[in-house]
Homo-oligomer: A and B are copies of this chain.
Amino acid sequence: MNEGTRRVRAADLEAFVTAIFAAAGTSAEDAATIAEVLVWANLRGIDSHGVLRVPGYVGRIGSGEFNPRPDFAVLAELPAAIVIDADRAFGPVGMSRGMDTAVAKAREAGIGVCVVRRVTHMAAIGWFALRAARQDMIGLVFGSSKPNMAYDGARARGVATSPIAIAVPGMDREPILLDMATSTGSMGRIMLARDRGTALEPGVALTEDGEPTTDASAARFLTPLGGAKGAGLSLMFECLTGVLVGNPLIAAALGPEGDWRHSQNGFALAIDIAAFTEPARYRRDIDALVDALKALPPARGNDEVRVPGERGGRVMAERMETGVPLPAGTWSRLAEVAAGLGVAMPAVIAAEAHSSSSRSLL
């Protein structure tokens, strides 16, 4: 069983992760939020942003990078805009507060934005966008972090693989949820190729010297989606977050300061559908849009046309039944952290000889 994958019920895994963070120093409420966001990523099949992050998060409390007891501060406020300093809060804690604040603003003003300053790793940002979509809002989230992607035309790290997520509610259908990085590939894909000893797709990764490579062990940073377009979007996300709230990350890293310490800034925008149209009509029209796209002829080799978030929704339905698969490596690293904090491991409901979650790491 040491070499295989264990399956754990989502509720048990969430309770376990909550206990870990509470033991590591966060409030019970914050621990529950962090656990919910991480386990949600696993349920959706985004294992690279799920509970495998727990040991790293706990370690970053110790190093002082993540603050388990942040003092949030409102730095600026107008009817539709607010800046919150997150005091190095955990990303899920800071960005949940950010989206909730944006939603409250949008109820009054039609739209609302919260820019969250000095937050840390946000995990799967689609969760925050969905939080708005569940309240008859459109949610839009992006962030900025330290450079880990080539800037187009340069052979060095210049921007981050900063993601964007947008969620809109449907009526009978699930919300459409786009959650994408501005890079061609992902660090998770590189890590997976390293573990497997396989080659990378061409064009995805660069060596430390900025040379293209398909050798996962030599890959150090990523290429931007579509060259100038992905790099440009990522650059604008920094202009719309880090620079806007006085925590610039790219210039601080690349400039004379050479500050590469972990920090992020997030942009949470909520759009109150009722300010623009009748929400039931909107939801029905979203369903009609999805229906129209799904009725298109699939491309060669495709069995069906899918909309953003559809695949994740199916994985979630399946994993709610069969449990969240935890590969041996994740399990043992969680066990180590749990032992150190005196937390019991969650019950295993099934064990498999080989990892079943490799696809989800992509």
- B-contacting residues, A146-204, CB 8 Å: 150-151, 153-156, 158-159, 164, 166, 168, 176, 178, 180, 184
By a CB distance below 8 angstroms, the chain B residues around A178 are 232-233, 235-236
- B-contacting residues, A100-152, CB 8 Å: 105, 108-113, 115, 138, 140, 150-151
Q: How far is the CB of A165 from chain B (nearest CB, A)?
A: 10
The reply to whether B154 and A288 form a contact with Cβ atoms under 8 Å apart is no
By a CB distance below 8 angstroms, the chain B residues around A297 are 154-156, 210
The 8 Å CB contact of A244, one of B151, B276, B295, B298, is: B276
Contact (A154, B296) CB under 8 Å given A233-B178, A244-B271, A289-B243: yes
The 8 Å CB contact of A305, one of B151, B229, B244, is: B151
The 8 Å CB contact of A308, one of B154, B235, B286, B292, is: B235
Q: Give the interface segment out of A16-24, A58-66, A248-256, A348-356.
A: A248-256
Residues 283-325 of A, flagged 1 when their CB comes within 8 A of B and 0 if not, give 0011011011101111110101111100000000000000000
The reply to whether A251 and B289 form a contact with Cβ atoms under 8 Å apart is yes
By a CB distance below 8 angstroms, the chain B residues around A180 are 228-229, 232-233
> Quick check: is A73 within 8 A (CB to CB) of the other chain?
no
Q: How far is the CB of A324 from chain B (nearest CB, A)?
A: 24
> Quick check: is A86 within 8 A (CB to CB) of the other chain?
no
By a CB distance below 8 angstroms, the chain B residues around A308 are 228, 232, 235-236
A304 and B153 alpha carbons, distance in the complex (Å): 7
The 8 Å CB contact of A151, one of B81, B115, B296, is: B296
The reply to whether B138 and A109 form a contact with Cβ atoms under 8 Å apart is no
> Quick check: is A344 within 8 A (CB to CB) of the other chain?
no
The reply to whether B225 and A225 form a contact with Cβ atoms under 8 Å apart is yes
By a CB distance below 8 angstroms, the chain B residues around A300 are 155
> Quick check: is A280 within 8 A (CB to CB) of the other chain?
no
The reply to whether B80 and A79 form a contact with Cβ atoms under 8 Å apart is yes
Q: How far is the CB of A229 from chain B (nearest CB, A)?
A: 5
The 8 Å CB contact of A76, one of B113, B138, B276, B288, is: B276
Q: Which chain B residue has the least Cβ–Cβ distance from A304?
A: B153
The reply to whether A298 and B76 form a contact with Cβ atoms under 8 Å apart is no
> Quick check: is A57 within 8 A (CB to CB) of the other chain?
no
By a CB distance below 8 angstroms, the chain B residues around A184 are 226
Q: How far is the CB of A243 from chain B (nearest CB, A)?
A: 5
Q: How far is the CB of A177 from chain B (nearest CB, A)?
A: 10
By a CB distance below 8 angstroms, the chain B residues around A254 are 292-293, 295-296
The reply to whether A83 and B276 form a contact with Cβ atoms under 8 Å apart is yes
A153 and B295 alpha carbons, distance in the complex (Å): 12
A226 and B233 alpha carbons, distance in the complex (Å): 13
The 8 Å CB contact of A277, one of B80, B245, B293, is: B245
Contact (A245, B78) CB under 8 Å given A154-B296, A239-B168, A240-B138: no
The 8 Å CB contact of A251, one of B230, B232, B246, B292, is: B292
Q: Chain A residues in contact with chain B, CB under 8 A?
A: 76-83, 105, 108-113, 115, 138, 140, 150-151, 153-156, 158-159, 164, 166, 168, 176, 178, 180, 184, 210, 225-226, 228-230, 232-233, 235-236, 238-240, 243-246, 248, 250-251, 254-255, 271-273, 275-277, 281-282, 285-286, 288-289, 291-293, 295-300, 302, 304-308
Return the 5 tightest CB-CB contacts between A and B, nearest first: A81-B110, A78-B110, A80-B80, A80-B109, A154-B296
List 9 contacting pairs A-B, 8 Å CB cutoff, sorted by A: A79-B79, A138-B240, A140-B240, A154-B293, A159-B293, A239-B289, A244-B282, A251-B292, A254-B296
